[in-house]
Structure 1
Amino acid sequence: MKKSQKTVSELVKFFKKELSGMYPEREIQSIIYIVFEEVLGFSKVDVYAKSDVIPEAEGMEKLAEVFEQLKNYKPIQYIFGKTEFYNLQFFITPGVLIPRQETQELADWIIHENNTHLKKFLDIGTGSGCLAITINKNIFRSIVDACDISDEALTLAEENALNINAKVKFYKADILNWQQYDFFQEYDIIVSNPPYVRESEKNFMLPNVLNYEPHQALFVSDEDPLIFYRVICDLAQIHLKPRGKMYFEVNEALFMDCKILFLEKGFKNVDIRKDINGKFRMMSASRG
Structure 2
Amino acid sequence: MTSSLPKTFATLLQYGLPNDFAKRVRDAGLTVTKARALSITDLILKYGLSPSEAKLLTESVRRQPIDPDVVSLLLQRSNFLCNVCKGDKGVSYILHHIVEYEQTQDNTYDNLVVLCPNDHDLAHQRGLTLRITVDQLRQAKEDWEHQVKVANAQRAAQKKDINDDAIDYGHVCQVAGNPSARQSVEILPQLQEKYPQYLRPEMTSVQFVQSQDRCHLEITTADRVRDYLVDETSKRTDLAFVSGGSRAFFSPSSPITENVRRFISEFDEVSIIHCTDLFTNEAATRIDEHWRRCGVVPGSL
Give the TM-score normalised by the residue count of structure 2. Answer: 0.28
Name the larger-Rg structure. 2
| Structure number with higher relative contact order (C-alpha < 8 Å, ≥ 6 residues apart) | 1
Give the TM-score normalised by the residue count of structure 1. Answer: 0.29
The structure in which a higher percent of residues are strand is 1
